[in-house]
């Protein structure tokens, strides 16, 4: 028996993809790859100079991108980021909740404000992203949530208790979302190991910063994560890639 593959139209395969935290590292890599593949990217982050140069560079290569200043700790701002895109483009296809910070330290260093910031960005920012896109996905009867969690969602190491807690939470929220979501909504958790980015720049504790230098020396490029996302969103609508863990081959924990 011959099986025929349903034809993928240009409209089906070109998606409107929102990416939070696209001013550096993994988010920037996702924006660059997906734009290069013909998707329309909407990139958010707080550093407007980075957003401007990202847009210039992607457009110079023929890609389609809108950029907007975004603070994921501000629920109304996240809602506007999504709503404005729906107004401008008519619909949205993929919400990549990527923005994150990682100011590592031991709990006894009492850097409580930094813990608060990780909860605000890594957990509450994710919840705001889900809440902003959900009504549109439900109205459209389609949509894809992608959470950038971490290998820190699976085990804890010293100095990373709070960071890992936020990533365990991101994993749990996203898995719960997958189980609860309407059957036409796809949900993917992507958990990177060490990837080249500016993430370790948020560490102020000298001991934690020194330990990270060795740990991060095996880093792989952000495009390794972007390729995984391209794979997940490129599946037919009835296929949901739920979880991907991507480490450098040399990385052990
Ligand atoms: N690199 C790794 O080894 C690794 C491993 C596992 C997981 N991850 C995860 O990957 C994600 C991306 O991190 P990265 O490694 O690419 O680090 P990065 O280069 O530091 O990028 C972090 C991004 O998050 C944005 N961001 C931070 N606070 C924000 C806020 N309040 N509102 C909006 N955007 C905000 C930053 O933009 P602005 O500062 O311009 O706002 C930046 O674009 C994070 O969730 C991180 O936990 C990274």
Instruction: Give the residue, by CA position, lying nearest to ligand 1 atom 6.
Output: 150
Distance of alpha carbon 22 from alpha carbon 188, whole angstroms: 18
pLDDT tens readout for residues 127-166: 999 999 999 999 999 999 999 999 999 999 999 999 999 9
Q: What's the CA gap between 170 and 92, in Å, rounded?
A: 22
Single out the residue of 193, 188, 195 nearest to residue 233, CA to CA. Answer: 188
Tens digit of each residue's pLDDT (9 = 90 or more) over 40-97: 999 999 999 999 999 999 999 999 999 999 999 999 999 999 999 999 999 999 999 9
Name, in order, each residue with C-beta under 8 angstroms of 137's C-beta and a sequence gap of 6 or more: 92, 95, 143, 145, 182, 185
Whether 46 is in the pocket of ligand 1, judged by its Cβ within 6 Å, is yes
Of the candidate ranges 4-8, 80-84, 168-172, 200-204, the one whose mean pLDDT is the lowest: 4-8
Q: Indicate if 163 belongs to the active site.
A: yes
CB of residue 247 inside a 6 A radius of ligand 1: no
> Quick one: pLDDT at residue 8?
40
Whole-Å CA distances, 208 to 79, 164, 245: 35, 14, 24
Of 37-51, 98-112, 175-189, 196-210, the one with minimum mean pLDDT is: 196-210
Beta bridge partners of 41: 17, 65
pLDDT of residue 211: 85
- Stretch 195-218: mean pLDDT: 91
3-state secondary structure of 92: coil
CA–centroid distance, 37 to ligand 1, in Å, is: 22
Q: Is 48 in the pocket of ligand 1 (CB under 6 A)?
A: no
Q: Ligand 1: which of 19, 197, 211 to mutate, judged by most atoms within 8 Å of the beta carbon?
A: 197
167-184 pLDDT, tens digit per residue, is: 999 999 999 999 999 999
Closest residue by CA, ligand 1 atom 1: 195
Question: Given a cut of 70, is residue 191 above it in pLDDT?
Answer: yes
Of 4-8, 23-27, 152-156, the range with the lowest mean pLDDT is 4-8
Which ligand 1 atom is nearest residue 192's CA?
6
Instruction: Give me the pLDDT at residue 13, please.
Output: 82
Per-residue pLDDT at 6: 38
First to last CA, the chain: 47
* Cβ–ligand 1 contact at 124 (below 6 Å): no
Mean pLDDT of 2-29: 76
- Using the CB atoms, write b or e for 198-224: b if 16+ within 10 Å: ebbebbebeebbebbeeebeebbebbb
Strands 94-97 and 143-148: parallel
CA of 167 to the centre of ligand 1 (A): 13
CB of 16 closer than 8 Å to CB of 96: no
pLDDT computed for residue 2 by the predictor: 39
Which of 19, 25, 221 maximizes ligand 1 atoms within 8 Å of its Cβ, making it the mutation to test the pocket? 25
Out of 128, 154, 163, 168, the active site residue is 163
Provide the pLDDT for residue 103. Answer: 98
């Amino acid at each position: 028996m011959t099986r025929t593959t349903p034809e993928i139209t240009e409209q089906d395969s070109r998606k409107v993809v929102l990416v939070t935290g696209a001013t550096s590292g993994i988010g920037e890599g996702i924006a660059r790859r997906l734009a290069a593949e013909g998707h329309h990217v909407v990139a958010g982050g707080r550093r407007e100079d980075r957003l401007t140069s990202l847009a210039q560079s992607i457009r110079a290569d023929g890609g389609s991108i809108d950029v907007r200043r975004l603070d994921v700790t501000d629920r109304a701002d996240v809602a506007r980021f999504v709503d404005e895109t729906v107004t401008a483009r008519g619909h949205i296809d993929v919400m990549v909740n990527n923005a994150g910070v990682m100011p590592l330290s031991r709990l006894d260093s009492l850097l409580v404000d930094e813990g608060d910031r990780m909860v605000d960005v890594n957990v509450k920012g994710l919840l705001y992203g889900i809440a902003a896109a959900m009504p549109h996905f439900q109205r459209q009867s389609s949509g894809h949530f992608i959470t950038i969690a971490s290998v820190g969602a699976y085990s804890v190491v010293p100095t990373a208790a709070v960071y890992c807690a936020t990533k365990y939470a991101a994993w749990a929220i996203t898995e719960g979302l997958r189980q609860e979501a309407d059957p036409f909504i796809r949900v993917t958790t992507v958990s990177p190991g060490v990837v080249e980015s500016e993430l370790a720049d948020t560490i102020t504790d000298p001991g934690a910063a020194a330990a990270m230098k060795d740990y991060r020396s095996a880093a792989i490029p952000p495009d390794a994560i972007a390729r995984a996302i391209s794979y997940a969103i490129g599946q037919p609508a009835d296929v949901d890639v739920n979880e991907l863990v991507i480490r450098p081959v040399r990385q052990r924990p």
